[in-house]
Every structure is written in structure tokens, then in C-alpha cells.
Structure 1
Amino acid sequence: MKNKFHKLLFLFALSAFAVSCSTDDDHDEHSQETNQEHTYLRILVSDEKTTELSLVNPVDGTATFFNAKFPKSALYTTESGRFAGIIHRADNTVETFDSGFEFHGDHVDTKGTPKFGFLTGSSLLPTHFKSKLGEILTFNDGDGTLAVAKESDVHTLGAKFTTINAGLLAHHGAMATFSNGTYAITEKDNSIAGTLPEKVKIIDNTGKTLHAAKLVTKGIHGNATDGTYAVFGSSSGILVVESNGDQKYIAHPTDFGTAWFGTILETAYPGKFVGFTAAKGAFLIDVVANSVTPIFENTTIMQGKVSYNQKKLGVLLHSGEFKLFDLNSLSLDKSATIIAETDTKSTQKPQLELTERFAYITLPTAGELLQVNLSTLAVKKIKTSATPYRITIFGHENSVAH
């Protein structure tokens, strides 16, 4: 009887040891994953003073360098994640750049080496960039047109953007693509002074008006879409436009006064968007519930960006403090001072982007990109060109090869 009892004790201890080892292994594996960036993600950084582009591999902390056509370019990522759009607004030019990584559902194929695409655009003041349904779009402030191209044509020799003319006046405008392939596009009727538009109509890919504007605002800036709803920042209220032509306002919080959202960001959650204004902070906009909920109320925000998977919100304050919020629960996940204070009058401020594992912050005067671990808040420095200007993340949050 005593021997059987001792055997049971031994087996129980052995089982507990096995579970403990298994748990430790799982913890080590999870720790390794969160302490290393996804293999097939890259960071593209433009330069303020030179044409140099820094292509950063965040896994090993190295950068390779390319030359764009002009300095001081804005950078964006296409819907597929494979390509970047390089916008030279003042020089009326758009370039494309290939990460070389093509996503196939559960793995990533490497398609050659990183390089510029053949696809280029030439239009008057290309400014607002969007990419949906396999298309690459810019709104051209200089003449109120859209320029459109296919991602599949990036490497087609001689490929150019085509122009969609909807009969608009030149203005600082924006557009959004619906899931049915139509576009919501801003209109300028000069009912207010300045370059901001007042209305939004819906057009097809020839520029034909399908649904005329129903509401007239006192100014529009900033927009986003989830394919069903297009949301525009407006001083008259948050303007929500649907593909069937329906339009409505969602009221700003009662204490906003004259403040309004000049930036609207997409999230991973249908019908939910992030609205940002430096005068008040960052808020969650629910277009179905017609609600506006505070995420972080603060008047010293320098940058606010949604993560690459659109599930987190990163906020960088002028003080150098970084805060990370969960967009599902709206809870604060992390907070720490990462960089030195930035003067609000600085002409070039640090730029922020983030993945599910790391935040990336440019240091414009140091020629560096900071990589901030979102689990530990440990910081690594990566050398870039001398005066980093704008940044975009492209590639895929995946480490599995073919």
C-alpha cells in the first residue's frame, strides 16, 4: 500500500514538472515572438533635405538606401501591404516602391528584391492618398481630379495613373472608396472662404455623379472608410456618407465648442473610427450608435496613429511621453516617456507608426529611428538618413515563408 502511494506521488510530481516545463517553453516562445519584429515587415523613411529613402529591416536593425525623385516626400502603404506610395506634392509626382513581399493567406513569398515600381503618376498637387479594392488613388488639390491605378500594374513598364475628372473646382480635398467600387469625393462650392471643401458626393469610376451631396458643411478635412461608411471630419459635425447616398451628421461632444476632428482614422472594427483633434484629443466614433467616446483627452498630443493591424492606438505627446490604447476596450495598455520634449514650434517633429509588437519613432535631428518594444518599452536605435521626414510600415505581420 505504501509503495503504491509513493508511486502515485512520483507520477503526480512528474506530471507537474512536465506541465511546468511546457508552460516555461510557451512563455519563452511568446517572449521571443514579442521581442522580435515580424520577418516580413519593413519601414520606409523619407528624408527632409535629400532624395534618400531609408528601407529599414526592423528584425536586424539595418537600413539600405535608395534615391527617390525628390526630397521631403510623404509615404503611404497600399491595401495589399506589398507596396508604398511616395507622394511628391510640390513636384506633382507619385512614385511606387515594392517591399518584395507578397502575402498568401498563411505565408509570405519573396518576389525579387526591394525596388521602385515602373508605375508613376504626374498630376497637379497630389495630396490625399488611399488604396482600396486593389487600386491606388490620389486626390489632386491642384485641379480637383482623382488619379487612379492598379496595384497589379506597379511593375508594368510604362504604367501611369489615369485621371478621373468629376467636374470639381480645385481644392484641398479627399476621397473614399466604397466596397461596391464607387467613390465618395469632396466638393468645393466657395460657400466658405479658403481651400477646404463643403460637400461630399458619390461618383463612379468615370467621374459621373451617382448621388449628389445632401448636406453642406462649414468645412471638411480628414476622412476614412471601412467600405460601408465614409466618415469625414467637418466643423458642422462628423459627416457620415453611405454608398446609397444617405448622409448624416454625428454631433461633436457638447464641450467641443468650435473644435472638430481634422483627422479620421480607420480601425479593425466595422463602423468604428478614431477622430483626432489637437484641441481635444482622440475619440472613438461609432457611426452605427451615433456616439463619440473619449479615448484620451489631452491638448498636447503631437502624433496619434492606429497600429498596422488597426487594433491599437499609439499617442505621442510633445513631452516625449508615449501611450498605447486598446481600441476594443479603449483601455490604456502602456505609458512611458520615450523621447525628449519637442517644442510645439518645431518645423519637423518626430513621426510615429506602430505594429502589433513595436512602435517606431523618427528623430529628425539625429538621423535615427527608434524601435520601441510594446511589451517591455525597451528602446533600440536604428540609423537612417540624416534628416528623417516621413515614415510608413509595409509588408506583412507574418514570419512564415513559402
Structure 2
Amino acid sequence: MKKYLLKTILITAFAVTACDKDKENPIEPVAEQEFTFIRILVNDELTNELSLIDPQKLSAEKFEAKFPKSALYGTEAGRFGALVNGANNNLQLFDTGLEGHGDHVDVKGTPKFGALIGDGNRPTHFKSKGDEIITFNDGDGTLSTAVQADFHTAGAKMKLINAGNVAHHGAMTKFDNGSYAITEKDGSVVGTLPERVKIIDASGKTIHASTIQTKGIHGNATNGKVSVFGSASGILVVDQSGTQKLIPHPADFGDAWFGSILEAGAAGKFVGYTAAKGAYVIDIEKSTVTPAVQNTDIMQAKVDYAGKNLIVLMHSGEVQVIDLVSNSVTTKGSVISAVAKEETQKPQLEATARYIYITQPKSGEVLQISTQNLSKKQTIKVSATPYRLAILGLESSEGH
């Protein structure tokens, strides 16, 4: 009995001592690995080199694109990336081979380029809806569209939709009902920016004419039922029914307006960004505009891949992660050296729920930074002068 009592006392004393030591030296939570089926596509400013990063392996597979300095986008389903090169009237598709099936992901072959040809007149703006991709062609104001079934069909070309537009720096969205909201230029504003938005069908026929004239439009996003456009006259909200309205900018904006509109699907919000003021949450139901980050030092502002958080990178090198559901900063800290505002090619930012990815144009690398612990960093070697990056694949680790 005495031996048992002594043993119990010793075990209890050891446990208490161990607990005290844990309090003195708490164990840091280990940052989660990136999702197995996430990929990062990175292209180059000066060469045709294309890097496909596997962020778990911290390595990149190399490919040759047709042109350098393309804009990079991902398709809504996540399987394909699009390289849009307006200077050469070209769109290329890249297939990760990762196909989502709800509760799991299938691997469909090896990563490779698609066969589809995109040859619109200066394709500039890109959108993806369901299995469809769309470009707005600045050279003639047309749309080009294609569906995923044709992405690997040899000789297949994107379909042209002529909505009777003139050439301008425009944009479009696609609604859940199959119609498109497309900008149009009426000539009331000098320059290349459009002033109006109309709704057309797949043949280019106008379904709902514009009801609001603005002083210039740039930047747009959609949740499938409503599209939001940045404009010098206010935030233009276009419903798929054809109804249009303007939400006023905050009273202190002066001549500033949102040239970028981001959609945060998981948070059910839209975000407007202007370098002159910062990033703001737009409530289209209440017609309100609320600050998320009021700062004129923002270098990049992006919504994460899941559509829940806003990631803001400052010229100072500081990053902020803002939860758009609560509109509160969850993580904040310095992650890179300061970047001069005059710098021509600046670091580019994208993020998943678990990691932030930032290009390093001068060192030929991409930084991988944990969203939970900004001190947890890894570098991934890519091409010599990384230009843009896009997140592809799915936030899942469940295979077939």
C-alpha cells in the first residue's frame, strides 16, 4: 500500500512538473501542409518558361509557353489555367490533370497544354463560369467563349460573340441563367474605358439594355445573380433581371473610385479596391461600403482561393489577412523586404486557406508563407524573372 501511494505521488509530481514546463515552453502549433491537390502556376516576364509548383513537395515542373508576360487565370472548376496574351492575340490553356468530384479528386493524366486555340482580337479580360471560359477582346469589343469538352480537341477554336460593340477596354460576367453582362462604349467619356453595361444572350442579342450611364468603368465581379462593376460614378450593380443601380462611394473619396472589384463567394461579399484609399467591403443589399483596410500603401489585394479572406500586401512588406465574414484582421506581420512604389515589376500575391504565395522577381523564387504563422516560410525556385502566378487545383487532400 505504501509502495502504491509513493508511486502515485511521484507520478502526480512528475505530471505537475511537466505541465509547468509546458507553460514555460509552450509547444508551437505545427503549420498544416498545403492541400495535396493544390498547384501554383507561374510564368515569366522575359522568357517562355512556365513553372507548375507542387507546394507540398516545394518543387516546380517546367514547361514552355508560347509567349512570355501573359496574364494568368484559373478556371472555376480548378483543373485548367489560362495564359492570356493580348499583345499576340493568343490564349493558351494548361491542364493540371486534377478533376474534382465533390468528396474527392481524380488525377486525369499528366500536366500538359490544351489543344484549343484562342485567337481573339486583343483578349484582355478573362472569366470562367462552370465549364465555360470567356475573354473580352479589347480590339473589337467582342467575346470569345469555349467549353471544357473542346479544350483538348485538336484545331478547336473559341466561339466569337459579336454584341455590336466598338473597340474598348472592357469586361464581362456570366450569370447563372446563361446570359452575359457586357460593357459598352457610347463615346461620352474620352479614352478607352466604357460607360455602360448591357445584358446579352449567347448569340450577342441584347436582352436588357443599359439604364445607367457612368463616367467610366473598370473592374468587375459576379456571384452569378448580380454583377458589380467599378465606375467613376459609383459602384454599378447589375442584376441578371436587367435591373441596375449605383451605390455611392464613401463621402471622403473625392475623385477616387474602385478600379478593381473582387468577389468573395464563401463570405458572400464583394470587395472594392483603389490605391488611393484602400480595400472596402461592398454590401449590395444594404448599398453600403465599409472599410476593410484603409491604407494608401497597398501593393496587392487579393481574395483567397476559398473566397473567405482578403489578403493585403503592403509596399512596406507587411501582409494582413482579413476575415471577410467578421471584417477583422486575423493575421498581420512583415513577410518581405520593402518594395519601392516606382518598382516596375513588383511581387505578385495569391493565397489558399493555408498558405500565402508571393513571387520574388529579382531572385527567381516564390515564397510560401503559412497564414497561421507568418514566420513559417519556404522558398520555391522558379524561372529567373517570375511575372504572374495563379492557384489551380482544389483545396482537398482526398484522392480517389
Report the TM range for the smaller structure's normalisation: over 0.9
Q: Which amino acid aligns with 1:212?
A: A
Residues 133 and 181, structure 1, Cα contact 8 Å, conserved in 2: no
**C-alpha displacement of 1:152:** 2.5
1:220 aligns with one of 217, 220, 225: 217
2:342 aligns with one of 345, 360, 363: 345
Residues 119 and 158, structure 1, Cα contact 8 Å, conserved in 2: yes
Please state if 1:373 is matched with 2:370: yes
1:307 aligns with one of 289, 300, 304: 304
Q: Which amino acid aligns with 1:401?
A: G
Q: Which amino acid aligns with 1:386?
A: A
Q: Structure 2 matches for 1:123-202, cutoff 5 A?
A: 123-202=120-199
Please state if 1:45 is matched with 2:45: no
Equivalents in 2 of 1:143, 1:270: separation in Å? 36
Residues 265 and 306, structure 1, Cα contact 8 Å, conserved in 2: yes
RMSD (Å) for aligned C-alpha atoms: 2.0
5+ residue gaps, structure 2, are 20-26
2:259 aligns with one of 253, 257, 262: 262
**C-alpha displacement of 1:298:** 0.2
Residue aligned with 1:255, SS: coil
Q: How many residues align?
A: 383
TM-score by length of 1: 0.92
Match of 1:391 in 2: 389
Equivalents in 2 of 1:300, 1:401: separation in Å? 42
TM-score by length of 2: 0.92
Equivalents in 1 of 2:266, 2:398: separation in Å? 26
Residue aligned with 1:223, SS: strand
**C-alpha displacement of 1:31:** 5.1
Residue aligned with 2:211, SS: coil
2:65 aligns with one of 68, 89, 103: 68
Residue aligned with 1:239, SS: strand
Q: Residues 37 and 31 from structure 1, CA distance in 2 versus in 1: closer, same or farther, beyond 3 angstroms?
A: farther
Residues 79 and 96, structure 2, Cα contact 8 Å, conserved in 1: yes
Q: Structure 2 matches for 1:355-374, cutoff 5 A?
A: 355-374=352-371
Equivalents in 2 of 1:258, 1:201: separation in Å? 25
- Deviation track 1:115-153 (CA, whole Å, cap 9, x = no partner) reads 001112001110000001321000000000000000222
Please state if 1:87 is matched with 2:84: yes
- Deviation track 1:372-391 (CA, whole Å, cap 9, x = no partner) reads 01111111111000000000
Residues 198 and 219, structure 1, Cα contact 8 Å, conserved in 2: yes
Residue aligned with 1:90, SS: helix
Equivalents in 2 of 1:164, 1:105: separation in Å? 32
Equivalents in 2 of 1:171, 1:260: separation in Å? 19
**C-alpha displacement of 1:157:** 2.1
Q: Which amino acid aligns with 2:44?
A: D
Residues 230 and 259, structure 2, Cα contact 8 Å, conserved in 1: yes
Match of 2:208 in 1: 211
Equivalents in 2 of 1:161, 1:123: separation in Å? 8
Please state if 1:286 is matched with 2:279: no
Equivalents in 2 of 1:288, 1:156: separation in Å? 43
**C-alpha displacement of 1:196:** 0.1
Residues 106 and 400, structure 1, Cα contact 8 Å, conserved in 2: yes
Equivalents in 2 of 1:244, 1:259: separation in Å? 29
Residues 92 and 125, structure 1, Cα contact 8 Å, conserved in 2: yes
Equivalents in 1 of 2:263, 2:163: separation in Å? 25
Equivalents in 2 of 1:89, 1:234: separation in Å? 23
Match of 1:25 in 2: none
**C-alpha displacement of 1:244:** 1.0
5+ residue gaps, structure 1, are 21-27
Please state if 1:121 is matched with 2:118: yes
Residue aligned with 2:252, SS: helix
- Deviation track 1:94-120 (CA, whole Å, cap 9, x = no partner) reads 000011100111111000000001112
